[in-house]
Chain A
Amino acid sequence: MANARNRLDDFAVGLATWVIRLRWIVILAAIAGALYVGQNAQKLEYSNNYRTFFSEDNPELKNFEEFQATYTKSDNFLFVFVPKDDSKVFINRNLEAIGQLTEEAWRLPFATRVDSITNFQYTYAIGDELIVEDLVPEPGATSPQGLLDKEAAALAEPLLNGQLITSDASVTAVNVVLTYPEKSLTEVPEAVAAARALRAQIEEAYPDLEIYLTGTSMLNNAFGEAIQSDFKTLIPLMIGIIIVTTIIAVRSVSATFATLSLVILSTMFAMGWAGFVGIKLAGPSPSSVIVILTLAIADSIHILMSARSSMRAGMAQREAIIESIRINFLAVSITSLTTIVGFLSLNFSDSPPFHDFGNISAVGILAAWGLSLTFLPAILSVVPLRVKTVDESDRGSFLRGFANFVIANNRKLFVVMAAVSAAAIAMIPTIELSDQFRKYFDPRIEFRSDTDAVIDYFGFYPMEFSVKAGEPGGVSDPAFLEKLEEFTEWLRAHPSVVHVYSVADIMKRLNKNLNEDKPEYYSLPEDRDLSAQYLLLFELSLPYGLDLNDRINIDKSSTRVTATLEGEISTKDIRQFLKDSDAWFDENAPEIEGPATGPQVMFTFIAQRNVESMVTGTSIAIVLIAFIMMAALRSFSMGLLSMVPNGLPILSAFGVWAILVGEVGFSVAAVASLSLGIVIDDTVHFLTKYMRARREKGLSAEDSIRYAFETVGAAIIFNTIILLAGFLVLTLSAFKINMELGMLTSLTIAIALVLDFLLLPGLLLMTARDRKGTEAVSQGESHATA
């Protein structure tokens, strides 16, 4: 083993020497390679479709795709009109604005349907004539009595009241359905730009109206906007942090320049690769840039700090660089490898953007590893490194004192740390999985601020049901219609539901209209043929785009019921609603059950699906990383023991999160394996030094702990600060998934430092006492082979 280590040292020295000899070629090759690969980054595109977050096999996505293929696609804009002067909707000036927007909205890119209170297909009877016309045929020119009548008609209409007009007639909405060809990523931004221009145009012409813009198209666009906003703010911030941290750590402008070059080249490799393989950036995947910048810098800092201390000890610049590569080769390689394993395990996630996030980060870390051992020594050998003789005895004595304190109090600290961790971990079950797509964005993103402004008026989350009549034409069957009506009424009575759209209401209205508008006929037709013929008559009367094809399937064997849930509903209550509706079908009409579907149904289960799929990924990462630790420490038992300081931080972080925040989105599934790959670095450094002291120097456990603190304590603290800085930058993301990812990982990294310093020494001392005999034997063996 010692031979192997010597061979490794020889290799590292040989590599560093060779690199320094060919320094200009290495530098140019690295830059040329990064440019060559990096140019592919131009091909990178932003995804703007929430469906990106679901794998093709995701059962909720499959249901929804099937549903949309049967009825219609569900992408929409919702324009919400709030009169600023508290006027009612039904005054001519407001109706004119609504009518104008309704008319213009048909011309928005990809618009296939526009519904508003002005173009609602109002039906009534005059003798044997069925009149089907716009509720407000000439918006802006309605008589005073007409306005009262129209308002009464709109509020009496179950399909409008609560959906497009509030029950006090103070706020109204226009819904625009879009059918994207999904051929180009510019479709959504194009439609959104047009919708915003239309809103601006109407707002300018009607300054008394405030118009808010929301809907799934705005949601989709928000994904792209959040990425752009992040790129604009987070990356410059991260670059600034790199410069400041490096200058503090190595106190050299040229070394900072070298580090900055390295992290930028690493990022170019990673993003170029991502562009080359055709990744579409979405959600967490663009954060890989921040992750690479953060993790790439750690390697350089270790190498630079070692070189600097060698130079301070009197070594010449190039020798110091070679020595630094020799010392750090193994540690840098192992820490890179474990981090790569952690990120690659994200491929088990059910959410494809997490695969991309893991893979891009892994490529970047790989590039940073390679560049740290080649490009970095090369560039350091051509820039002047000046070493100021700074007295570091303060830092050293502080760490020595700290080590003594920890050793003296190791049992107490161990017990306290273990108890605190256990208490935190005990809280994990109280974490509530919560994914409300409205809250994925912070209020910087218009989708969030506009949606928040209108959420109380019309609810927000549509739950779609495809209720089955069982046979072609079955939607006209009176028995089915009765069940449909019961289901509709049950939904209306449910506390979470604010509006229900059901063709049962259309059938009742038609029955009344076709019986001279006699109120007693406002009921379901009792004859199948009659219902079918009513529908036929109604369909023949509807204008372009306002047909029933989005409500009844083509052979009329099923119909769509939409229940809109209140906007402030929690994911837990949505799950409860879904359980309730399942139970209703099971008890009352199992034969007509169509499971609830829709975007929010997909997001309601996304965390659960991802946690389930990541169990395998995380387990594999844990096992692989444990093996890597065993190999690195050349000890089975130390490898196993290392899993305590490696695994405990993430569990404790979840516990702390449970206490402080309480709910978390689907990013939670990814945090465990990726942070495991990161926090392990500290343990690797601490334990390798401890083991070297025990084996090579024959020191006692206590002295080995002191040695570890003195040699790598500072580096571990620095490393932790850099990692914290990087992941805290992520918490500034406009996208909540990234924010939570950054926050949970930061928390894990901070806890890892505390546990490495306060709990690990106690653990090492305890095992050393327990197994004095065996340790002595293995020490003997180790010396024998040396």
Chain B
Amino acid sequence: MLLHKNPFRAKTLTFAAMTALISASSALADDPAARGDTPESQKGYDISARSDRSDSGYGDSKVDARMVLRNRAGQETVRNFSFTTLEKETEDVGDKSLVVFQSPRDVEGTALLSHAKILDPDDQWLFLPALKRVKRISSSNKSGAFVGSEFAFEDFTITELNKFTYNYVGEEELDGMTMDVIERFPRYEKSGYTKQKSWVDQDIFQARKLEFYDRKGELLKTLILSDYREYDGVWRAHTLSMVNAQTGKQTDLVYDTYSFKNGLDANDFQQGILTRLR
């Protein structure tokens, strides 16, 4: 998940050394279709792979999140939920995640279970406590606004490496740091975006800024990731601020402290778990 993505402690490692190290890991084979065949696309892919693969082995994570939505009229509203994630087994599938809403009160206990896919639509189920039923969400569209925010559900699964093809743009200064700037293009159908542009720092190799471009190629949203904290080698941004360049609306996503390696496994992310959450 983009929203709690990873790290690299070995700040002194050179890029080449690291690429070699990652390539050496047999479980993490590059997808040639995603990596492309030009030097720019491969460099873009490799830098993204370094970010994505750096925290492999984090196991699972739990975190409480607070979402603050603001519109152009200055109105504001808050949503709280907990976020549980199970690390993907291979790069051919995505992470599994469970979102449990805590507020507003009328959706308290509503739970969304997702099994992310790479190119196919994700599998999703929603438990509605008021109906005491699980409903499978059968929609190939996951690019709509997530609970009315400026985040789309696809923004949460955005660092699944092989969902994109890449293009390395160059280096750029941002907030006093040198960044690698990479463009990436969704390989999956029904994306709301034609292009994303990410700024990855050369220090801890984390995305600091992302731009999302709409179907006409215009800037749609800008995401600023900040307050990176390290958990035993794993880096997570704790404040994510998404501003819609076209409507002026904004959503801030603020994470509490993460807990890792809670001993969760695939059984905790089965459809049946939804009715037993409380």
Q: Which residues of A contact B (CB under 8 A)?
A: 66, 68-70, 72-73, 106-112, 126, 128-133, 179, 181, 472-473, 476, 514, 527-534, 536-537, 539-549, 552-556
Is the pair B247, A72 in contact by a Cβ cutoff of 8 Å?
Answer: yes
Q: Say if the beta carbon of B36 comes within 8 Å of chain A.
A: no
Q: B175 near A: Cβ within 8 Å?
A: no
Residues from chain A with a CB closer than 8 A to the CB of B57 are none
Answer whether residue B246 sits at the interface, using C-beta atoms and an 8 A cutoff: yes
> Taking CB as reference atom, which chain B residue is nearest A132?
B139
Chain A hits for B276, CB < 8 A: none
> What's the Cα separation between A529 and B127 when bound, in Å?
13
Task: List the one stretch of B88-96, B101-109, B202-210 in contact with chain A.
Answer: B101-109
Q: Contacts of B59 on A, CB cut-off 8 Å?
A: none
Cross-chain contact of B75 among A70, A132, A547, A549 (Cβ < 8 A) = A70
| Inter-subunit contact A553/B75 (CB<8 Å) | yes
Taking the closest CB of chain B, its distance from the CB of A297, in whole angstroms, is 50
Residue from A106, A536, A546 in contact with B147 in the complex, judged by beta carbons closer than 8 Å: A536
The chain A residue sitting closest to B77, CB to CB, is A555
- Do A542 and B144 touch (CB < 8 A)? yes
- Report the stretch among B27-35, B66-74, B228-236 that lies at the interface: B66-74
Give the 8 A-B CB pairs with smallest separation, nearest first. Answer: A544-B192, A543-B141, A555-B77, A532-B106, A69-B73, A544-B143, A542-B144, A529-B130
B137 is an interface residue with CB less than 8 A from chain A: yes
Write out the residue numbers on chain A whose beta carbons fall within 8 Å of the beta carbon of B148: 539, 547-549, 552, 554, 556
Expressed in whole angstroms, the Cα–Cα distance for A109 and B218 within the complex equals: 9
Bound-state CA distance A157–B71 (Å) is 30
Shortest C-beta distance, B189 to chain A (Å), equals 11
Is the pair A543, B190 in contact by a Cβ cutoff of 8 Å?
yes
Across the interface, name the chain B residue whose C-beta is closest to A548.
B148
* Inter-chain contact B147/A533, CB cutoff 8 Å: no
Q: Is B261 an interface residue (CB 8 A)?
A: no
- Please determine whether B133 and A128 come into contact, CB atoms closer than 8 angstroms: yes
Given known pairs A132-B139, A540-B126, the reply for A555 and B144 (CB within 8 Å) is no
List of B residues within 8 angstroms of A130 by Cβ: 135-138
User: What is the 8 Å Cβ interface bit string for chain B, positions 52-88, against chain A (1 contact, 0 not)?
Assistant: 0000000000000000011111111100000000000
15 interchain pairs, CB-CB under 8 A: A69-B73, A73-B247, A107-B215, A128-B133, A133-B138, A473-B104, A473-B106, A476-B106, A539-B146, A540-B112, A540-B139, A543-B139, A544-B141, A549-B249, A554-B76
A544 is contacted by which of B71, B74, B147, B152 (Cβ under 8 Å)? B152
Query: Interface range on chain B: under 10, 10 to 19, 20 to 34, or 35 or more?
Result: 35 or more
B146 / chain A contacts, CB cutoff of 8 Å: 539-540
Partner of A547, one of B129, B145, B246: B145
What's the Cα separation between A444 and B101 when bound, in Å?
A: 57
Query: Which residue on chain B has the smallest CB distance to residue A181?
Result: B246
Tell me whether B216 is interfacial, beta carbon within 8 Å. Answer: yes
Given A69-B73, A543-B144, A554-B71, residue A533 in contact with residue B110 (CB < 8 A): yes
Chain A residues near B20: list those with CB within 8 A. Answer: none
Chain B residues 126-172 with CB under 8 Å of chain A are 126, 128-131, 133-141, 143-148, 152-153
Q: Which residues of A contact B198 (CB under 8 A)?
A: none
Indicate if the CB atoms of A554 and B216 lie closer than 8 Å: no
| Docked-complex contact B144 and A527, CB < 8 angstroms | no
Q: Do A555 and B75 touch across chains, with their CB atoms under 8 A apart?
A: yes
8 Å CB contact of A109 from B70, B110, B216, B249: B216
Q: Are A530 and B246 in contact (CB under 8 A)?
A: no
Q: Which residues of A contact B215 (CB under 8 A)?
A: 106-107
A533-B110, A534-B128, A548-B148 provided; 18 other pairs, C-beta below 8 A? A107-B216, A130-B137, A133-B139, A179-B247, A472-B104, A476-B106, A514-B128, A530-B130, A532-B104, A532-B107, A536-B126, A537-B126, A540-B137, A541-B141, A549-B145, A553-B71, A554-B77, A555-B69
8 Å CB contacts to A: which residues of B187-229?
Answer: 190-193, 214-218
B128 — nearest CB in chain A belongs to which residue? A533
Q: Is the CB of A540 within 8 A of B216?
A: no
Do A537 and B135 form a contact, CB below 8 Å, given A109-B216, A530-B128, A532-B106? yes
Check A540–B153 contact: CB distance below 8 A.
yes
Contacts of B76 in A (CB 8 A): 554-555
Tell whether, in the assembled complex, residue B130 and residue A527 are in contact, meaning their CB atoms are under 8 Å apart.
Answer: yes
The interface centre, meaning the residue of A129, A527, A548, A555 with most chain B CB atoms within 10 A of its CB, is A555
Q: Which residues does chain A contribute within 8 Å of B190, judged by CB atoms? A: 543-544
Contacts of B51 in A (CB 8 A): none
- Pick the contact of A129: B130, B135, B193 (CB < 8 A): B135
- Confirm or deny: B239 has a beta carbon within 8 angstroms of a beta carbon on chain A: no
* Complexed CA–CA distance, A554 and B101 (Å): 16
A217 → chain B closest CB, angstroms: 15
Given the known interface contacts A107-B215, A128-B134, A554-B77, the answer about A529 and B144 at a Cβ–Cβ threshold of 8 Å is no
Do A70 and B73 have beta carbons less than 8 Å apart?
yes
Given contacts A69-B71, A528-B106, A537-B128, contact A514 B216 (CB under 8 A): no
Asked whether, in the complex, the Cβ of B140 is within 8 Å of the Cβ of A133, the reply is yes
Compute how far the CA of A327 lies from the CA of B104 in the bound complex, rounded to whole angstroms.
Answer: 83
Give complex CA distance A107, B218 in Å: 9
Q: Report B-chain residues with C-beta under 8 Å of the C-beta of A70.
A: 71-73, 75
From B75, B105, B144, B191, contact of A554 by CB (8 A): B75
Determine whether B124 belongs to the interface, using a CB cutoff of 8 Å to chain A. Answer: yes
CB distance A529 to B145 under 8 Å? no
Kindly list chain B residues whose C-beta atoms are within 8 Å of the C-beta of A536. 101, 107, 110, 126, 147
Nearest CB on A from B182, distance (A): 22
Complex Cα gap A554–B251 (Å): 10
In the complex the two chains form, what is the Cα distance from A532 to B104 in whole Å? 9
B124 neighbours in A (Cβ, 8 Å):
540
Contact of A108 among B70, B141, B216 (CB under 8 A): B216
Q: Which residues of B contact A107 (CB under 8 A)?
A: 215-217
Report B-chain residues with C-beta under 8 Å of the C-beta of A533.
Answer: 106-107, 110, 128-131
A548 to B69, CA, bound (A): 14
Contact A540 B104 (CB under 8 A): no
A553 to B77, CA, bound (A): 10
The smallest beta-carbon distance between A63 and chain B, in angstroms, is 12
| B143 in contact with A128 (CB, 8 Å) | no
Which chain A residues border B77 with CB–CB below 8 Å?
472, 554-556
Contacts of A545 in B (CB 8 A): 144, 192
**Complex Cα spacing A530 to B106, Å:** 8
Q: Which residue of A lies closest to B215 (CB)?
A: A106
Please state if B71 and A539 are interface contacts (CB–CB under 8 Å).
no
Q: Cβ of B107: which chain A residues have Cβ within 8 Å of it?
A: 529, 532-533, 536
Selected from B73, B75, B144, the residue in CB contact (under 8 A) with A541 is: B144
How long is the Cα–Cα vector from A543 to B130 in the complex, in angstroms?
25
Q: How far is the CA of A560 from the CA of B105 in the complex (A)?
A: 23
Least CB distance from A536 to B in Å reads 5
Q: Which residues of B contact A539 (CB under 8 A)?
A: 144-148
Q: How far is the CA of A76 from the CA of B67 in the complex (A)?
A: 31
Task: Check A541/B129 contact, CB under 8 A, given A106-B216, A532-B104, A533-B107.
Answer: no
User: Is the CB–CB distance between B70 and A554 below 8 Å?
Assistant: yes
Q: Are B192 and A543 in contact (CB under 8 A)?
A: yes
A545 — nearest CB in chain B belongs to which residue?
Answer: B192
- Provide the bound-state CA to CA distance between A425 and B215, in Å: 60
A112 touches B143 (CB 8 A): no
Q: How far is the CA of A540 from the CA of B141 in the complex (A)?
A: 9
A553 to B71, CA, bound (A): 8
C-alpha spacing A556/B130, complex, angstroms: 18
For B101, the closest partner residue in chain A by CB is A536
Asked if residues B72 and A530 are in contact (CB atoms below 8 Å), the reply is no
B105 touches A473 (CB 8 A): yes
Q: Which residues of B contact A556 (CB under 8 A)?
A: 77, 104, 148
> Within the assembled complex, what's the spacing in Å between the Cα atoms of A514 and B126?
12
Most buried by B among A530, A539, A549: A549
B56 to chain A, nearest CB (A): 29
Q: Is the CB of B106 within 8 A of A546?
A: no
Query: Shortest CB–CB separation between residue A528 and chain B, in angstroms?
Result: 5
- Distance in Å from the Cβ of A255 to the closest Cβ of chain B? 58
Report whether A128 and B136 are in contact in the complex, using a CB–CB cutoff of 8 Å: yes
CA distance A548 to B149 in the complex (A): 11
